[in-house]
Amino acid sequence: MKDQSLGFNDLDRNEDDHLSANEQTPLRADAFALSDEEKIERIKASVSDILTTLGMDLTDDSIKGTPNRVAKMFVKEIFGGLNPIKKPSSSTFENKYKYGEMLVEKNITLYSTCEHHLLPIVGKAHVAYISNGTVVGLSKMNRIVDYFAKRPQVQERLNIQIVRELQQVLGTEDVACVIDAKHLCVNSRGIRDIDSSTVTAEYGGVFQQSDVRDEFLKYLQLPSLDRI
């Protein structure tokens, strides 16, 4: 009988697998049973245990505050997008000027965290939509990207979540998003390839047509203003 057990290399490959079968972030039903302050206290204790296990001296002035800093950062900052209370409101407006071409918001700075190794994902998101009668404030697209990025993520899922949210807000399928990002789980560990980046895309509605998609990608090639 063939051995069906997983070897070390198989486990390592599974850890690096970026596939996800679910468009939704995997959350337990009781994800928000604890308050932010309760979560901070629990995470603080866990971080203290990790550092102590690694052999660190938590009485040292340099790191004695690290567990509290990390706990607050997890809950209040880099994983703040897990809490639906922090979801940005996205008011829409009537497209009174009848602008019918695609609107592209490119080079949106993106900071996220790989859910496989809890290491940073850093890159740019490029978002576009074609109005069917309503428009959304430009900064709202940045805020939507930031909200879904601030959680343990898989880049493919992040792409989909951004597009699905904007489709719902705008009432149209005609939304697209391309993300180009560096994953420090690749750049700083494992293969340690510092030059590689990951590009993913999600195209909805008319953006699935090659001519519309190509127009969007041409916008991304236009030079951007570095400073105003």
Look up the CATH number of the domain holding residue 45.
Answer: 1.10.286.10
Q: What residues make up the domain containing 67? A: 30-78
In a domain, 17, yes or no: no
Other CB atoms within 10 Å distance of the CB of residue 58: 13
Same domain, yes or no, for 196 and 167?
Answer: yes
Can 41 be counted among the known catalytic residues?
A: no
Catalytic residue among 105, 115, 165, 202: 115
Choice among 155, 161, 177, 202 that is catalytic? 155
| 126 included as an active-site residue | no
Whether 73 and 108 map to the same domain: the answer is no
Do both 119 and 216 map to the same domain?
yes
Please indicate, yes or no, if residue 105 is contained in any of the structural domains.
yes
132 pLDDT band (50/70/90 cuts)? Answer: very high
Q: Which of 105, 114, 153, 161 is catalytic?
A: 114
Q: Does 200 lie in the same domain as 148?
A: yes
Looking at the chain, the whole-number percentage of residues with pLDDT higher than 90 is 79
105 & 188 share domain: yes
Choice between 128 and 10, residue whose per-residue pLDDT is larger: 128
Q: Let me know if residue 169 belongs to a domain.
A: yes
pLDDT at 1: 38
* 108 shares a domain with 41: no
Residues 91 and 164 in one domain: yes
List pLDDT tens digits, range 146-177. Answer: 999 999 999 999 999 999 999 999 999 999 99
Q: How is the chain split among helix, strand and coil, in percent rounded to 5?
A: 40, 20, 40
Q: Catalytic: 114?
A: yes
Q: For this structure, is 18 an active site residue?
A: no
Cα diameter, the chain = 70
Same domain, 178 and 211: yes
To the nearest whole number, what is the mean pLDDT of the chain?
Answer: 90
In a domain, 228, yes or no: no
- Ranges of beta strands (E only) in 24-87 are none
Residues 115 and 91 in one domain: yes
Query: Which member of 105, 153, 177, 183 is catalytic?
Result: 183
Q: Is 102 in the same domain as 43?
A: no
Q: Give the tokens for residue 5.
A: 């057990």
Say how many domains are in the chain: 2
Predicted confidence band of residue 2 (pLDDT cuts 50, 70, 90): very low
Convert the pLDDT of each residue in 15-54 to its tens digit.
555 555 578 999 999 999 999 999 999 999 999 999 999 9
Spatial neighbors of 28 by CB under 8 A, at least 6 apart, are: none
Measured torsion, CA atoms of residues 121, 15, 75, 162, in degrees rounded to the nearest 10? 50
Q: What is the pLDDT of residue 95?
A: 86
